[in-house]
Structure 1
Amino acid sequence: MSKKNKDRVNIVYSTNPDFSYDFEENEAPETLEPSKQLLYVSLDKKQRGGKEVTLIEGFIGSDEDLKELGKTLKSKCGVGGTAKDGEIIIQGSFRDKVIDLLTKEGYKTKRKGG
């Protein structure tokens, strides 16, 4: 099946030449302003070989804005990390520093876990 036909909804094939297909609409979510977002910051060790990472969850917005926020946090902490699937992962234990940085940016934050 060609790639352009995968977006069709509720129809496999039609012999009617005047039939119009319904297509999925892939809309990117709008990024909410920082004061309207609640981000959860936690430390995580699961499936990471025992190494701690700081996990930021709850971001609502486009992938570009998520990656931009992740880039800012990584550079301020001076470590590596990634931003994908609606969460930002910062290598190391930087929970308090990340909470301070996000609060200065205007985000509401909550500490998750111990």
Structure 2
Amino acid sequence: MDLKDQLKNFFPEHQEEKVTPEKVVGEKIWMQDDPIICKYEKRKGKPTTILEGYTGADEDFKKLAKELKTKLSVGGSFKDGAIIIQGDYRDKIMALLKEKGFKVKRVGG
């Protein structure tokens, strides 16, 4: 006799609830047909990675920028419709965006 059977003997009127895994309601981000352009520049002698060409809402692009910065543990900003990441992280960013379903085009170098 296992534990469930013993509990049924003590509490015969108890109905067992089925536990289902919680559905994670992720925030939907606009997917576009055109690729996001991922380019490398040097600003004031320091390497930067710039993402441009997103056609969705700015709020979605800001969420994407925040997610990229936290996953890469780097600094950056969102200005004038472009995500600016400190450092040369083109390969990692392109892999993360492709994993999310975006089309990415590498420009420069």
- TM-score (structure 1 length as normaliser): 0.66
1:23 aligned partner:
none
Q: Name which of 62, 76, 96 aligns with 1:81.
A: 76
Q: How many Å separate the matches in 2 of 1:75 and 1:104?
A: 16
Matches within 5 A, 1:6-45: 33-45=30-42
Q: State the one-letter code of the partner of 1:92.
A: G
Q: Percent identity at matched positions?
A: 48
Distance in 1, matches of 2:98 and 2:33, equals 12
- Bigger Rg, structure 1 or 2: 2
How far apart are residue 35 of structure 1 and its match? 4.8
SS of 2:46's equivalent in the other structure is: coil
What is the CA–CA distance in structure 2 between the aligned matches of 1:106 and 1:56, rounded to whole Å?
15
Q: CA RMSD in A?
A: 1.8
How far did 1:60 drift?
0.9
Counterpart residue identity of residue 109, structure 1:
V
Partner secondary structure for residue 63 of structure 2: helix
1:63 and 1:84 in contact (8 A); partners too = no
Q: Name the counterpart of 2:88.
A: 93
Give TM-score, length-normalised by structure 2. Answer: 0.69
Do 2:30 and 2:60's aligned partners in 1 also have CA atoms closer than 8 Å?
A: no
Match for 1:67 among 62, 73, 84?
62
Give the 4+ runs in structure 1 shifted more than 4 A. Answer: none
Asked if 1 retains the 8 angstrom alpha-carbon contact of 2:35 and 2:53, the reply is yes
- Is the contact made by 2:69 and 2:75 (CA closer than 8 Å) also made in structure 1? yes
User: Offset of 1:78 from its aligned partner?
Assistant: 0.5
Deviations 1:47-81 (A, max 9, x none): x2100011101011222111100001101110010
